[in-house]
Amino acid sequence: MEWNSLARTLGLFFATAVAELIGCYLPLLWLTGKGGVWLILPAALSLMAFVWLLTLHPAASGRVYATYGAVYIATALLWLWTVDGIAPTRSDVVGVILALCGAGVIAFGQRSV
């Protein structure tokens, strides 16, 4: 995989994760009384963007979802830190590293011979 392609794919995964997080976080704000019902509309739009972004990957969907899962974990912990103000623990960091390594095996292990 070329570096440009890898950077594009990781950027796409990151954007996908952010869209999913926003789509889930906004209804949570409404349900916990920290925001109005109007948050449902941008949440729905964000979840539609999430689904659309997943379709932009050329690989088989199961492999894309498996690899995306690791990037989502890393992005969710970044969200926890930046939005919720909770610093990741050592075990969070180790878990992210393990997930990303597993995703690398899935993504790069599928070379045609």
Residue 113 lies in a domain: no
Residue 103 lies in a domain: yes
Residue 86 lies in a domain: yes
pLDDT (tens digit per residue) in 90-99? 999 999 999 9
pLDDT (tens digit per residue) in 57-88? 777 677 788 888 999 999 999 999 999 999 99
Confidence at 111, pLDDT banded by 50, 70, 90: low
Residue 17 lies in a domain: yes
* Exposed/middle/buried for residue 110 (C-beta within 10 Å: 0-12, 13-18, 19+): exposed
Residue 20 lies in a domain: yes
Residue 90 lies in a domain: yes
Nearest-CA neighbor of 25 among 15, 10, 35? 35
Range of the domain at 73: 3-108
Domain count, the chain: 1
Nearest-CA neighbor of 66 among 105, 39, 113, 95? 105
53 vs 2: CA distance, rounded Å: 21
Report the predicted TM-score, pTM, of the whole model to 2 decimal places.
Answer: 0.85
Residue 21 lies in a domain: yes
- The 10 Å Cβ neighbour count of residue 45 is 14
